[in-house]
Amino acid sequence: MATTTKRTRPVYEVRIGRIRAAIWENETQNGIRHNVTISRLYKADEQWKDSPSFGRDDLPLVAKVADLAHSWILGVTPEQTPAATEF
């Protein structure tokens, strides 16, 4: 008897070049929460793979995809945004 494994997928992805942010949705007792994984895509032996390490030139793109992922999460969960703070 074969068993099938249900593979979870991110609810949203942000990709700039080889840098990707995957946004995952988790149901908790306090409602839906989001987590983000950031990876660098590369090709090895004609297969696409990913890595959690980044080179110097990747870092500006890491910052940008993290910012875009943050904006997407805030856009879908406005009730979770903190109250504005005045300085």
Q: Name the amino acid, one letter, at 55.
A: G
Is a pLDDT exceeding 50 seen at residue 86? no
**Tokens 């942000």 belong to which residue?**
14
The side-by-side arrangement of strands in the sheet containing 12-16 is 12-16, 19-28, 31-44, 47-51
Please name which of 6, 16, 9 lies closest in space to residue 54, comparing C-alpha atoms: 16
Mean pLDDT in residue range 43-62: 96
Report the predicted TM-score, pTM, of the whole model to 2 decimal places: 0.77
Angle at 78 between CA 75 and CA 82, to 5 degrees: 120
Is residue 69 a contact partner of residue 21, using CB atoms and an 8 Å limit? Answer: yes
Is a pLDDT exceeding 90 seen at residue 76? no
Q: How far apart are CA 22 and CA 15, in angstroms?
A: 9
